[in-house]
């Protein structure tokens, strides 16, 4: 009878019932105001419903110092009962199959959007649940300009090109660019945000890319993003002073209607809201178009996640699983919404955004809800060459062709892959 009761009791506890004993958990999170505030709010809400569970929030620094703390605690078996960490390639460096609890068999994982699971998986195991909103990479656009010119949101690249011709003819910069020193990272979006289209054209691309089975300079899907940059230069889409324009210059152009579009990550919405509050509701978002309107979708940058180390066992593990179940619910996302203003989509099914959320955030959420989203390549592969931004600027300013840039990026990837000791390089 005792052998039967123990697993039944464990199941009962994970389902959210009262615990048989008082349990104290610790949760490690970085010390930024936003991230620690989210965790503290989630812990407080959960403890209110479960008075026999105490969750103490443990703070660590961000950046490299924080990474080292996480890795050291996992390596020495001294990790907190739960912890907050990146998804994607940084997670793989933690050797999750050896150090983290596999959540794939938990019922609450059905609440998590599939595109996020890929960013916290290794093999068939899934290790984390999203604990903040994500962001999209694509095209921010000025809806007032589109309305004035009678333009529709493009779903193919050819439609995007046709729109840009009409915008330019109206005397408006079609695509804002910001290639000034210190801002060159912004030149990467046509390449990075195109990954949804790459994945649609070539399923399994990330694994082949990581194993050096893809030649970017000759692979049509991989080369397309570089070709888009060359096309922008050749057709004169950027403003005349793009080479000296900054990120903030481009945001101002977009918000004030001097430019119709800006390829960017959607965290820029916060900056626009801060500096152009009267114009921010004119800003919308659409996914970078590909070749097939029926396969139109957005490339997503995944949020951080909550993980449970394998050193969490027994009653602590059951309580930790129940708390993670709360995080992966619409009730959990409601707590986050009440703590910080959402600037991106949730990756939890049934999660809702407030009515007063920015229109562009609703645009992004629509891609998530329809299943038309996919993680950026950096969440599926450890490879991202450090010189990509300089290569993109060189193409976008006519210093090299798309094919030359892609070949240079192949060399960049080779050097990085060899540093990482990846097989096949």
Q: Where are the domains of the chain?
A: 2-134+303-351, 135-300+376-419
**pLDDT on residue 11:** 40
Neighbour-count burial for 281-318, b at 16+ CB within 10 Å, e otherwise: bbbbbbbbbbeeeeebbbbbbbbbbbbbbbbbeebbbb
pLDDT at 39 over 90: yes
Residue 29 three-state SS: strand
C-alpha to C-alpha distance for 17 and 8, rounded to whole angstroms: 12
- 3-class DSSP assignment, residue 284: strand
Helix ranges (H only) for 235-373 are 247-256, 268-275, 314-327, 330-339, 359-369
The CATH homologous superfamily of the domain defined by 135-300+376-419: Periplasmic binding protein-like II (3.40.190.10)
Could you check whether 2-134+303-351 and 135-300+376-419 share the same CATH topology? Answer: yes
At 91, list the tokens: 């997670």
pLDDT in tens, 27-38: 999 998 889 999
Q: Name the percent of the chain lying above pLDDT 70.
A: 95
List residues bridging with 125 in a β-sheet: 122
Rg over CA atoms, the chain:
23
Asked whether 166 and 251 are in contact (CB, 8 A), the reply is no
pLDDT tens readout for residues 235-263 = 999 999 999 999 999 999 999 999 999 99
| Cα pseudo-dihedral 7, 10, 15, 20, rounded to 10 | 140
Longest dimension (CA), the chain: 81
Q: Which residues of 140-152 are buried (b: 16+ CB within 10 A; e: fewer)?
A: bbbbbbbeeeebe
Which listed CATH number (3.50.50.60, 3.30.365.10, 3.40.190.10, 3.40.30.10) goes with 2-134+303-351? 3.40.190.10
Size of the chain in residues:
425
Report the distance separating Cα 381 and Cα 212, nearest Å.
11
Q: How many CB atoms lie within 10 A of CB 56?
A: 11
| pTM of the model as a whole | 0.78
Residue 116 has pLDDT above 80, yes or no: yes
Choice between 364 and 89, residue whose per-residue pLDDT is larger: 364
Beta bridge partners of 83: 28, 307
Strands 283-286 and 135-142: antiparallel
Q: Identify the residue with better confidence: 48 or 65.
A: 48
Among 42-56, 95-109, 199-213, 266-280, name the one with the lowest average pLDDT: 266-280
Rounded mean pLDDT of 298-308?
A: 95
Under 8 Å between Cβ of 186 and 251: no
Q: Contact 14/108 with Cβ under 8 angstroms?
A: no
Residue 8 pLDDT exceeds 70: no
**Is the pLDDT confidence value at 12 over 50?**
no
Per the prediction, the chain carries an average pLDDT of 92
Which residue from 333, 324, 337 is spatially nearest to 16, judged by alpha carbons?
324
């Amino acid at each position: 009878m005792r052998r039967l009761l123990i697993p039944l009791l464990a199941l009962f506890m994970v389902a959210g019932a009262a615990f048989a004993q008082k349990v104290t958990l610790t949760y490690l999170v970085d010390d930024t105001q936003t991230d620690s505030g989210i965790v503290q709010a989630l812990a407080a809400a959960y403890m209110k419903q479960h008075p026999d569970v105490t969750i103490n929030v443990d703070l660590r620094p961000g950046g490299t110092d924080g990474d080292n703390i996480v890795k050291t605690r996992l390596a020495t078996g001294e990790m907190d009962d739960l912890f907050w960490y990146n998804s994607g390639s940084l997670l793989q460096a933690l050797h999750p199959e050896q150090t983290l609890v596999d959540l794939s068999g938990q019922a609450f994982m059905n609440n998590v959007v599939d595109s996020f699971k890929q960013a916290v998986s290794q093999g068939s195991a899934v290790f984390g649940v999203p604990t903040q909103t994500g962001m999209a990479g694509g095209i921010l656009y000025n809806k007032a300009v589109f309305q004035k010119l009678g333009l529709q949101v493009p779903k193919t690249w050819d439609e995007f090109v046709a729109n840009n011709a009409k915008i330019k003819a109206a005397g408006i910069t079609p695509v804002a660019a910001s290639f000034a020193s210190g801002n060159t990272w912004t030149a990467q979006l046509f390449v990075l945000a195109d990954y949804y289209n790459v994945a649609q054209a070539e399923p399994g691309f990330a694994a082949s890319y990581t194993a050096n089975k893809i030649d970017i300079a000759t692979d049509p899907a991989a080369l397309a993003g570089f070709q888009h940059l060359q096309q922008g230069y050749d057709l004169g889409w950027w403003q005349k002073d793009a080479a000296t324009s900054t990120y903030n210059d481009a945001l101002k152009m977009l918000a004030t209607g001097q430019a119709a579009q800006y390829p960017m990550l959607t965290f820029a919405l916060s900056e626009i809201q801060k500096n152009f509050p009267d114009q921010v509701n004119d800003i919308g978002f659409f996914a970078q178009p590909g070749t097939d309107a029926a396969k139109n979708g957005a490339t997503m940058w995944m949020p951080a996640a909550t993980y449970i180390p394998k050193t969490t066992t027994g009653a602590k593990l059951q309580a930790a699983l129940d708390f993670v179940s709360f995080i992966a619910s619409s009730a959990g996302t409601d707590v986050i919404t009440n703590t910080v203003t959402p600037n991106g989509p949730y990756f939890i099914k049934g999660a809702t955004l407030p009515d007063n959320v920015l229109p562009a955030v609703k645009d992004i959420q629509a891609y998530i809800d329809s299943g038309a989203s996919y993680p950026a390549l950096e969440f599926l592969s450890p490879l991202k060459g450090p010189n990509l931004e300089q290569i993109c600027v060189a193409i976008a300013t006519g210093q090299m062709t798309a094919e030359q840039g892609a070949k240079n990026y192949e060399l960049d990837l080779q050097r990085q892959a060899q540093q990482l000791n990846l097989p096949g390089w």
